[in-house]
Structure 1
């Protein structure tokens, strides 16, 4: 006969030591705060790009170039990128902690997760701040129509 432990019975300790401390609390708080801020950023982004403008058909290279000419939209998109990536990575980190049982697997998965987070955030940040729709010395036939050749 199999017995099931009572719901309030203490759990059996895991065979790995916990070094999380307050990090998990701060991660939990970050998820709630960043989720609310992301809602504002995303719906603001969608409203300006799709509702206030001419819809999805107007979103093209020139639209993005014009938008990123403003520091407001550069910072807006940067915040959206950073918060979304860190929010998502924190969620995946939690899933890895919950389901990866071996320490080596957990370490490998979290290392790959953090490496991909850094790559996407660094490349996205570089694109936002170094984007130049009219690069100097480019052939005129390759430049958008709004650039002066």
Structure 2
């Protein structure tokens, strides 16, 4: 008589035939490679080209986000970094939270924080306006036209 024993520390709900963990593993590899490319290009453009770190200020970010390419670039970095980190934390929670109730609440907190960060970050990237029309002139940056 042969008995099959599941791998140790494998949660009961994952012992069936599911590809979720395989897809999560593949996402981590793909998003990691993309993040390396996105982040090193971001660092090169911001710190090496032009005046380097001395040019980084509010005006630099405002000028950069006036270009839709950089908006999408920063959005991809935000989304990939948050989803990559969330997937990693989900794995840590699955490995180390032994009680099902604790695991559930930790994941609820993780997913809530991730959703809020992604939504707020996306809103900031696409609604950023360095020269709001009703702002007081003394509060506007020097590059904004004075009405």
TM-score by length of 1: 0.89
Structure-to-structure mapping, 1:1-149, within 5 angstroms: 11=7, 16-18=12-14, 21-149=18-146
* Cα distance in 1 for residues equivalent to 2:80 and 2:115: 13
Residue 54 (structure 1) shift: 1.3
Structure 2 alignment gaps of length 5 or more: none
C-alpha distance in 1 between matches for 2:12 and 2:91? 16
Q: How far apart, CA to CA, are the structure 2 residues paired with 1:81 and 1:20?
A: 32
Question: 1:39-64 deviations in whole A, cap 9, x for unaligned?
Answer: 00000000000001212221110000
C-alpha displacement at 1:12, in angstroms? Answer: 5.8
> Could you say if the C-alpha distance between residues 11 and 50 of structure 1 is closer, same or farther in structure 2, counting changes exceeding 3 Å?
closer
Shift of 1:11: 4.3
Q: Cα RMSD over matched residues? A: 1.8
- CA pair 14-24 structure 1, distance change in 2 beyond 3 A: closer
Normalising to structure 2: TM-score of the pair? 0.90
Give me the whole-angstrom Cα distance separating, in 2, the residues matched to 1:148 and 1:123.
28
Pairs aligned (count): 141
Shift of 1:21: 1.3
Q: SS of 2:78's equivalent?
A: helix
Cα distance change of structure 1 residues 20 and 77 upon mapping to structure 2, 3 Å threshold: farther
